[in-house]
Amino acid sequence: MSCEKTIVRVEAAVDYDVVVIDEAQQTFTIDIHDSCGHRWRRVSVKSDMTAHDLYTIISKKSRLPMDQFVLFNADPQRLEHSKRLSEYDIGPGSVVQIIFKLRGD
C-alpha cells in the first residue's frame, strides 16, 4: 500500500472563511476563444492535465469529435496531446484558441 503526501496551503479569506488550496493539483479555469477572439467556452482544468485531457473536455462539452478542431496556446503553438498544460505555461486565466477544421466532400 502506498501513501502519497499532499501539500496543502491554507489561506485566510475575508470574514474568516478558510480557503484550502491543493498545490499538488490546482484547479483553475481557462477561456477557449474562437478564431475571431470571442470567448467560446470556459472550462475548469487541473494543473497536471495533458492537452489530450483538455481536448477530451472540450469534445464532451461541445459534442464535437476531437478530430474536428485544433487547440493553440498564446504563442501560437499547437497543443500536442501528449504534453502537459504546464509545458505550455497554461495556468489560471489563460486563453487557448480553438480552430475548427472544415469538412470536405
Domain of residue 33, CATH code = 3.10.20.90
- Whether 12 maps to a domain, the answer reads no
Asked whether residue 104 carries a pLDDT value surpassing 80, the answer given is no
Q: Could you give phi then psi for residue 62, rounded to 5 degrees?
A: -100, -10
- Whether 48 maps to a domain, the answer reads yes
Rg from Cα positions in the chain? 17
Beta-carbon count within 10 A of 79 CB: 22
- Whether 77 maps to a domain, the answer reads yes
The residue type of 13 is A
How many domains are contained in the chain? 1
- Whether 3 maps to a domain, the answer reads no
Q: Could you give phi then psi for residue 61, rounded to 5 degrees?
A: -70, -35
Query: What is the extent of the structural domain holding 88?
Result: 26-100
- Tell if the pTM clears 0.75, that is, is over it: no
- Cell numbers representing residue 57 in the block: 473536455
- List, for residues 40-76, the tens digit of each pLDDT value: 999 999 988 999 999 999 999 999 999 999 999 988 8
